Amino acid sequence: MKKPFLPVMAVLFVFSCAPKAVERPVPPAHPGQSAVIAPAQVAVTVETLKSAFILNGVDALMSEITAEVIRNGVPAGVFEGILVYKRPGFLRLRLFGPLGITAAEVFLRGNALQVYIPVKNTLYEGEVPAMPETLPEDLLYAMEQDEGGYEPLRQGGYTLYSFRQAPDAGAPVELKGKYIYGKNPLLNTALALYRDGKKTFGFSFEDFQEAGGKVIPATIKVSTAYGIGMNLRLIEPSVNNEIGEEFFEPIDREGLDVRPLRELPSAGTNRGGL
């Protein structure tokens, strides 16, 4: 893989809990039921949207990438690298700097996250909300439809909300996720994850393509509550093929300055996104 000379930068592919305004949840259905928010009669149901979730049917993915790092809405550097994903819950992102040397590496296994910055000889570790690979059955779901109106090229779409019921009867539900779908065709084009009512992570998906019999995005835009994000461009991705186990070994801690994830350099609060 060609790896041009690029500035070495920290990678923040991290779930975060930075302060953000709490979104008001949409009233959900009772457990095990679905709620449809106006209009009352739609052809697409909650179950239809759940089945169209972006990762459904993707068991493994490996791709060369270009990654543009965004800091407070301003481009801050471009890398080439590699992205590897495999169920259940394994993800590795490696970005290359000068002369092909690793500039940063991210390893996620379930809810355990490692971020390695070689130039600092520092490994940041901590727990984060696990990225959903399917939409959990133990959550409540509700949906709404955007009719699109009469604006040119605006076809409308759907929004799916997920909630967790509070353990105490009568307590408010907690918003856990927000999933945006295009209408024609029905594609999951964005999602946001929440903790304690605050957005921690956002993704948007663009330029859909077919790979390995699946329709996947060629462009993935990532935002975090810290105001640092990435625009990832997948280059000739391989889907649902065998991937070597060496990609799913945790980053070796020996000889590294190991610090908690909360010490990873941040850059303010993200005010954009879903």
Per the domain annotation, does 215 fall within a domain?
A: yes
Rounded distance between C-alpha atoms, residue 225 and residue 68, angstroms: 17
- Token look-up 């996250």 returns 113
pLDDT of the residue at 132: 76
- 260: helix, strand or coil: strand
pLDDT of the residue at 114: 94
User: Domain range for residue 210?
Assistant: 34-263
Structure tokens given for 178: 């927000």
Number of Cβ atoms within 10 Å of the Cβ of 11 = 22
pLDDT of the residue at 148: 59
Per the domain annotation, does 22 fall within a domain?
A: no
Q: HSE on the CB side for 8, CA within 13 Å? A: 15
pLDDT of the residue at 133: 85
Number of Cβ atoms within 10 Å of the Cβ of 240 = 15
Per the domain annotation, does 172 fall within a domain?
A: yes
pLDDT of the residue at 36: 33
Checking 99-108 for CB contacts under 8 A at 24+ apart, the result is 99/3, 99/5, 100/3, 103/6, 103/8, 103/9, 103/11, 103/79, 104/8, 104/9, 104/10, 104/11, 104/79, 105/11, 105/251, 106/11, 106/13, 107/250, 107/251, 108/13
pLDDT of the residue at 41: 41
Number of Cβ atoms within 10 Å of the Cβ of 228 = 26
Per the domain annotation, does 1 fall within a domain?
A: no
Per the domain annotation, does 122 fall within a domain?
A: yes
Residues whose CB falls within 8 Å of the CB of residue 175, separated by 6 or more in sequence, listed in order: 23, 25, 161, 162, 163, 194, 197
The overall pTM is greater than 0.85: no
Domain count, the chain: 1
Per the domain annotation, does 25 fall within a domain?
A: no
pLDDT of the residue at 178: 95
Rounded distance between C-alpha atoms, residue 49 and residue 67, angstroms: 29
- Token look-up 């993935």 returns 220
Structure tokens given for 199: 């957005």
Per the domain annotation, does 271 fall within a domain?
A: no
Task: Please state, in angstroms and as integers, the Cα–Cα distance from residue 220 to each residue in 46, 154, 262, following that order.
Answer: 24, 21, 25
Rounded distance between C-alpha atoms, residue 225 and residue 228, angstroms: 8
Q: Which residues of the chain, if any, have pLDDT below 70?
A: 1-42, 147-155, 169-170, 226, 266-274
Per the domain annotation, does 13 fall within a domain?
A: no
pLDDT of the residue at 263: 86
Transcribe 161-172 into DSSP letters: EEEE--SSTTPP
Q: Which amino acid is at 80?
A: E
| CATH at 151 | 2.50.20.10
